[in-house]
A and B are shown apart, each in its own frame.
Chain A
Amino acid sequence: MVLFILRRLGTMALTMLVVSLLLFLLLEFTPGNVATKVLGPYSSEEQRNLWLEAHGYFEPLWYRYGTWLGRFVSGDFGDSIRFKVPVADVLWPRLWNTAILGFWTFAVMIPLSLMLGVLAGMREGSLLDRTISVTSIVTTSIPEFASAVFLAALFVFWLGILPGTSTMSGGFDWVQLVLPVMVLVLYDFGYVARMTRASMAEVMTTHYIRTAVLKGLPYRRVILKHALRNALIAPFTVITLQVNWLLSGVIVVEFFFAYKGFGALLLEASLNQDIFLIEACAMVAVFVAASTQTIADVGYTVLNPRIRFA
């Protein structure tokens, strides 16, 4: 187990190294643009060159990468070109805002999708099952930006009960969090519900459930004690891996509602070729992806003792 986690950490470090190098190379393709973006389109060639030189852009690539890597490992993420402050000063507050958004999305989505999935899988082919299945296909077919438009039109334009932006300019406000969470839940719950349904339906056909029913146990107990425990193993993995999807969805939702989170930051950094900010955001993304994958694998073996580490 310890060896397994250590190996995963090693792979993660290697992935981070490769990704960061690739990003450096990718951004190398368009070197002149950075200065234009900072100094504006009316800056002269000389001004741009001065800026590039002052910020070390004329050093060889390997030297810049090495310097960045050395500082990054020792905890110095460098300065953001766009925000003109240290990367850490913008990154952590933004990450915290996204964590709040993600927390509430999961807090609503997990109970909802598990309940619907279990209800649908309990009686395969029933009217309830078909309704839930069709609903989940429809909701996963509506991209986040489209459901954001629909929900905003409904709750902001026609009903007028929710605010259309979530800038949180006047301090933290619960009401502004409702629409972003709703959009993310709407897109994500269908997939988890379908996975839960498939898993539950499979468990319901097993011999031990038939035995439990035939020996006369009350249906409630068969479901709660025998079926659920086994049916919830597969959705656990799906939910953990959903974190990665959420990170993509968060970009769209934060952009739409002008929420000051990690997704919006990443978008802004990419559009402005803010290299150190991009690198820091990318490292966070890889870290989140790799650690959720490891948690999913470790959790799976804990829940399902039939699987052991090789």
Chain B
Amino acid sequence: MTDIGETATPAPSAPSPGAAFGRAIRSFALLRESGAGMVGVGLIALWVFVALFAPLVAPFDPNATLQPFAKPGTVYAQGGTFWLGTDHIGRDILSRIIWGSRAVLFYAPLATASAYLVGILMGLAAGYFRGKMDEFLSFIANVILSFPVLVLYILVIATIGASGINIVIAITFASAPGIMRIVRGLVLDLRNRDYVAAAQTRGESSWYIMLVEILPNARGPLIVDACLRLGYVIITIGVLGFLGLGLPPPDPDWGGMINETRSMALAFPHMTIFPCIAISSLILGFNMLADGLREIAIRD
């Protein structure tokens, strides 16, 4: 990676961005045959659209206190309708769900990407160098994995405090070992291929071989896993919010909305039900997309 002269002649397993884009298009064409996959894409696209255009889609200001305890469909005296009702201090639930989608769709991919960055580097190092390095990294991974994940999140967040960036740190800490195990397994298989031997003979550096020769060939299972993991991360962010360890108020966060109105759930179920539907539908989207991608992977 550091020597530009070496990378001037691209290895066959290091495709140009154009070829990668073409393959992505072809994968999408295949995905269209999978009903579940397309439903997943649709659900995710819907929420991405809502998040991007939140200021245009949301009928009210998400933090404005308008009319407390309004039932769904109540018409607001100063214009507009509370389609999903309002919460205990009079904020419009639909607008809060719409604005809350931004938080989820920002932090969940960020946390997943961060966990993948750490997990992939650990897995590549463990699988490629083997020996002491592998034993050391695998032991760390086993220690972290021997712990129920949620316990780990709670302990880390309760100690370092609840904020967006701390959630990302906690998720990275707890998910990287699982990703490392998958990557390590794939690398142990791929490191004996001829193209790796060829690169070693050419005198490429270890990290060049790992990142340019091995990693692109391990992408298939990793993409499916990333989709599933994104779903789990959304659950995690929701659970942390629900336990009161999520993003700090007043900005809307789906898990936090459920936590705030939980005590009133039996009298005013609309306050908790709609955020729950929102988060479940987004997770369902990622799980169905993962299912569709897995179908394609099996067929290839």
Residues of A bordering B, CB below 8 Å: 11, 15, 18-19, 22-23, 26-27, 29-30, 134, 137-138, 140-146, 149-150, 152-153, 156-157, 164, 244-245, 247-249, 251-252, 255-256, 266-267, 270-271, 273, 278, 281-282, 285-286, 289-290, 293
Contact = CB atoms under 8 A, between A and B. Distances in A.
A37 to B, nearest CB: 11
Interface in B147-172: 147-151, 154-156, 158-160
A258 B276 CA distance: 19
Contacts of A267: 154, 243
Nearest to A17: B143
Given A141-B284, A143-B238, A157-B266, A248 B150 contact: yes
A19 B151 contact: no
Contact of A149 (B146, B155, B273): B273
6 contacts: A11-B142, A145-B238, A145-B255, A152-B265, A270-B154, A270-B158
Majority SS at the chain A contact face? helix
B280 A30 contact: no
A172 to B, nearest CB: 23
A132 B239 CA distance: 27
Nearest to A138: B284
A157 B235 CA distance: 25
B272 to A, nearest CB: 5
A164 B160 contact: no
A19 B147 contact: yes
B177 to A, nearest CB: 13
Interface of B: 36, 142-143, 146-151, 154-156, 158-160, 231, 235, 238-239, 242-243, 255, 258, 262, 265-266, 269, 272-273, 276-277, 279-280, 283-284, 287-288, 291
A149 B265 contact: yes
A140 B287 contact: yes
Contacts of B148: 244-245, 247-248, 285, 289
B101 to A, nearest CB: 15
Contacts of A278: 155
Contacts of B255: 145
B151 A152 contact: no
Contacts of A150: 273, 276
A145 B239 contact: yes
Contacts of B266: 152, 156-157, 164
A300 to B, nearest CB: 18
A282 B151 contact: yes
Contact of B283 (A141, A153, A252): A141
A150 B243 CA distance: 17
List of 5 A-B pairs having minimum Cβ-Cβ separation, nearest first: A248-B150, A146-B276, A141-B284, A247-B148, A153-B269
A129 B263 CA distance: 40
Contact of B258 (A15, A140, A145): A145
Contacts of B156: 26
Given A141-B231, A142-B284, 5 more contacts: A30-B159, A146-B276, A150-B273, A252-B239, A266-B151
Contact of A143 (B147, B159, B239, B288): B239
Nearest to A252: B239
B254 to A, nearest CB: 9
Nearest to B150: A248
A289 to B, nearest CB: 5
A164 B267 CA distance: 11
A143 B235 contact: yes
Given A143-B239, A266-B154, A149 B159 contact: no
A27 B154 CA distance: 12
B36 A134 contact: yes
Contacts of B242: 145, 252
